[in-house]
Amino acid sequence: MKLSVVIPAYNEALNLPDTLNAFYDELISVGIDHELLVVNDNSKDNTVDVIAQLQQRMPTLRTIFNEPPKNGFGYAVRRGLEDFKGDCVAVVMADLSDDPKDLVKFYNAMVTQKVDCVFGNRFMKGGQVFDYPKEKLYLNRMVNNMISFAFKLRYTDCTNAFKLYSRATIEGIKPFLAPHFNLTVELPLKAVVRGYSFTVIPNSWRNRKHGKSNLKIREMGSRYFFIVMYCLIEKYFSRGDFNKKWE
């Protein structure tokens, strides 16, 4: 089973070498057939040159451009989800906040348990966070617990972008609506609402070394709310018209 790793990147030239080297070396060491797909989201730095240099040692690395005017995290990820070549796909941050060893665990869980999705949880037993900003942490826990309650889920890390989906799942939860970071909520909630199977395993997260996150919390509140309400409406009023059984 071939694994695709979609990595959206906006001005991440300082972070990409560490991230790509770490994921490439780990996946090669365990023999997982894969591709690393960097979606260059109209970067203004030397991201293009950095990727070109890294491609000299990484035959599995390729890059595509997310052309303006539809730029931003959500659009970049959506561009990658339209272009990936693998049988399954993970969304990974460009700043190495996600651990390559966790991705291997996700992949093995999907293969052995034969599930459609693997969701990471940084806050369950075995999960870890390092240098997580306190304000962001409190907001994260509040939002995720509210989502868990509304959807009657035991899963409490829905906003975590780091997840693995089968190709069939990605096709089955289209079309995508979210253009921003709220896509991280749309993908798993649609998968759950539409009946795709999933397992949850602990994973780790650590803060970036270089630059600042592009997530603007104050701007995202209403956008997250919109996506959550949309998925709730589908859950309770669609009568299962979009469920997996109709594939």
Cis peptide preceding 68, ω within 30 of 0: no
Q: Give the domain extent around 192.
A: 3-246
Buried b (16+ CB within 10 A) or exposed e, 194-226: bebebbbbbbbbeebeeeeeeeeeeebeebbee
Q: Confirm if 98 and 90 have CB atoms less than 8 A apart.
A: no
Task: Give the pLDDT confidence score for residue 211 in this predicted structure.
Answer: 56
**pTM, full prediction:** 0.92
Q: How many domains does the chain have?
A: 1
Buried b (16+ CB within 10 A) or exposed e, 168-193: ebbebbeebebbbbbbbbbbbbbbbb
What lies within 8 Å, CB to CB, of 73 at 6+ separation is 8, 10, 41, 180, 181, 183, 214, 215
Task: Give the pLDDT confidence score for residue 16 in this predicted structure.
Answer: 96
DSSP state of 246: G
Report how far residue 120's alpha carbon sits from residue 160's, in angstroms, rounded to the nearest whole number. 7
Q: Is it the case that residue 151 has pLDDT exceeding 80?
A: yes
Question: What would the pLDDT profile of 98-148 be if each residue is shown by its tens digit?
Answer: 999 999 999 999 999 999 999 999 999 999 888 877 877 888 889 899 999
196: nearest Cα among 97, 117, 81, 103: 117
Task: Give the pLDDT confidence score for residue 131 in this predicted structure.
Answer: 84
Q: What CATH number is associated with residue 123?
A: 3.90.550.10
Task: Give the pLDDT confidence score for residue 140 in this predicted structure.
Answer: 83
Question: What would the pLDDT profile of 45-98 be if each residue is shown by its tens digit?
Answer: 999 999 999 999 999 999 999 989 999 999 999 999 999 999 999 999 999 999
Task: Give the pLDDT confidence score for residue 215 in this predicted structure.
Answer: 52
88: nearest Cα among 5, 184, 186, 176: 5
Report how far residue 85's alpha carbon sits from residue 145's, in angstroms, rounded to the nearest whole number. 34
Task: Give the pLDDT confidence score for residue 135 in this predicted structure.
Answer: 78
166: nearest Cα among 70, 67, 81: 81
Question: What would the pLDDT profile of 213-240 be if each residue is shown by its tens digit?
Answer: 555 555 567 889 999 999 999 998 987 8
What lies within 8 Å, CB to CB, of 98 at 6+ separation is 92, 162, 203, 205
Strands 117-121 and 163-166: antiparallel
4 Cα distance to chain centroid: 12
Residues composing the chain: 247
Report how far residue 43's alpha carbon sits from residue 46's, in angstroms, rounded to the nearest whole number. 8
